Every structure is written in C-alpha cells, then in structure tokens.
Amino acid sequence: MAFDDYNTVIRSKVSGARNFHDEFHDDKLDFFIPLSSVGIVGNRGQAAYSAAETFLDALAHHRWQNGQAALSLNLAAVDDVGYLASNLAKESEEMKTIYGSSMTEAEVLGLGEVESRGQCILRLNLDNPAMLPFWASDAKLYHIREQALATSANLGSAGGSNIPVAEGLKHLSNKEEAIDLVADELGNKLAAILMLAPEDMATQKTYMSITAFGLDSLIAMELRNWIGNELQAHLQVLELPTRGKRTKLAALVLKKTRFATPLG
C-alpha cells in the first residue's frame, strides 16, 4: 500500500475525530462516542482501516484520562442493518473472515447507556479452543488466549465426559447423525435458557417447533449468539423461529458452520 493510499483511508476518521475533540475541548459534554471496530485485532488486508480505529481508541482514552467524556465502542459486525443486512449473499463469508459473533441494532443502541470510560470491546470470542481466530496468535493477546484455554480445560474436566460439538462432529459419518447431535445440543442450550428439563426437550426434538417454548427476541438472540460461539455458524435472529423444528434448525446450522461436518 502506498503512503498516499494509507492517508486517504485514515484521514477522514483521524481529522474528523480530532476536529470534534478540539472544537468541544472546553465544553463539558455528556458523551463523546466514536464508533469503531477492534483496532488491536485488525482485519487482513485492512491495515489502514485498523490504524484509524486504533486512533479513535487512543483519542477516547486520552479524553477519559483528562476527565472528559469519551467512550470508544469497538463493535462487532451488525447483522440487521447496514452492510451485512443489505448483502446477505456475503454475510456468511464475512462472518467467517472476522471470526466473531454479530450484534443487532438494538444491542448497539443500548450501549449508549454504558458509562464513558475510554473503551468498550465487544464480541471477542475465544470460547472455543477447537476454532481459534487468526488474531489469537498475536503476542499482545497472549494473556487472553491462555486464560480462555485454561477456562475451557477446567470446564472440560468438571464436565467429565462432555465432548465439544466440534469434536463430536469429527467422528460422525453421515448427515443424519450430525443433525441429531446438533439438535440435541440446541435442545440442551434452549432448556438451560428456559430452565426446563433437558429430557423434556429431547422427547420433542422432531415434532415440536422451538417457538412453542416461548422463543421471544431476547431468548432468540441468546441462542443465536451461542450458536455463533459454539458451532461457528452465523444466523440472523429471524432465522431461528422460521426453521420450526429443532432438526431443521440443526440442518441450517450445519450448512453454515465453519466446522468440518458430514455435510461437507
């Protein structure tokens, strides 16, 4: 990348944010919220974009240290408005590239209530040791990676014979077995969210719609985020109730997952 090209990318964010900071420097603002993605993580092929985001983080930190309102929101991908919502064909590809969970517009707007304390990083997922993102090998994130791996190991020891879904899928040879495994895991998670007995969910796997259990928008978002973290499949919230039975939802998850499955 030529230096002029680099400057073209960063100039608008750096100059714009600095102008706002200088203009309102002596005013007691209630909030000062630059929106950025996570500059410390970066994105392949977008060094200039990441540099601009890092500047926003640094400016917010500078303001906060000097007693001024500032909160840099490091957002994940927003899936129901903007670029991803208008480019559904590229949505799955983009989510695989950034290795993280998405957010909804409502979640983003809700962050306006967060106390201004410099920086707020969202949706950095290191929950699944079977599928670490490319940025997990970055030396400056070593402590986060090691903590996540240690937590996963402790949970595995406490859980006894519990096997991660990714590991279980590796040992299956056909589509039906994979769908059954994922449907069971979806049932266990939904039972935990709704505080139901897992065995009750198991008996209704093939014939009862998941909406029959009272799948409101908040529960749907929690289930969607779990699917993204544990099964590495990015779904729109509205896709959950429209699938009906858990086995159909499981088939959709397997179609979108980044894990190797009998479905290819």
pLDDT along the chain (264 residues), means of 10: 91 95 93 82 79 92 92 83 76 62 80 74 65 70 73 54 68 84 86 74 62 73 84 82 79 83 62
- The CATH 1.10.1200.10 portion of the chain extends over 163-256
- The CATH 3.40.50.720 portion of the chain extends over 3-121
Q: How far is CA 165 from the centre of its chain?
A: 18
Q: State the burial class of residue 120 (Cβ atoms within 10 Å of its Cβ: 0-12, 13-18, 19+).
A: middle
**Cα–Cα distance for residue pair 240/253, rounded to 1 Å:** 10
**pLDDT for the residue 161:** 45
**Cα–Cα distance for residue pair 82/76, rounded to 1 Å:** 13
What residue type is 235 in one-letter code? Answer: L
**pLDDT for the residue 12:** 92
Q: Domain 163-256: give its CATH superfamily.
A: ACP-like (1.10.1200.10)
Q: Can you read off the two tokens belonging to residue 201? A: 């969910």
Does domain 3-121 sit in CATH 3.40.50.720?
Answer: yes
